[in-house]
Amino acid sequence: MIRKLPLGVEPPLELLLLADPSENKIKDYLNQGTCFVFIKEKETLGAYVLAPVDKNIVEIMNVAVEESEQGKGIGKLLILDAIERAKQAGYKRIEIGTGNSSIGQLALYQKCGFRLTSIEKDYFTKNYSEPIIENGIRCVDRINLSIDLKS
């Protein structure tokens, strides 16, 4: 079951840190957005944060699944849930960004309907103090993807 994090319940920081090494950035977007959690047998196995960019655009700021539960379809459920909630809330566009080295994430987002929109060169070198390496690739550029929700 995916539901909005109830009021007064601490966000699953350990989980969100899997997707973003910066605790400060996570705290910033938790303040601006809403955290949704995937719960099974009282365990929080996945989470995402949806935050408005403006009145027409909403962004998935973070999506993460417990390491032991990855590859079982939970990530896809979370992304599809975010798209549905964005539609229901009347947003015209949903966005997500990831690193050039995040091959699996790029596959997942495109499987959920996202299209590539732009590249922010050197985003990760400018915004993160520690080097990030995934799949043997240095993460330097941010790839932005989006879905137009009303055509």
Is 94 a binder of ligand COA (CB under 6 A)? Answer: no
Q: In angstroms, rounded to a whole number, what is the distance separating the alpha carbons of residues 48 and 38?
A: 9
Q: In angstroms, rounded to a whole number, what is the distance separating the alpha carbons of residues 2 and 26?
A: 20
Q: In whole angstroms, how close is the CB of 8 to ligand COA at the nearest point?
A: 25
**Binding pattern to ligand COA, positions 9-48, x when CB under 6 A?**
---------xx-----------------------------
* Candidate list 26, 63, 139, 145; residue touching ligand COA; CB under 6 A: 63
How do 34-40 and 2-4 pair as beta strands? Answer: antiparallel
Q: In angstroms, rounded to a whole number, what is the distance separating the alpha carbons of residues 48 and 2?
A: 10
Q: Which stretch binds ligand COA (CB under 6 A): 22-30, 74-82, 87-95, 137-145?
A: 74-82
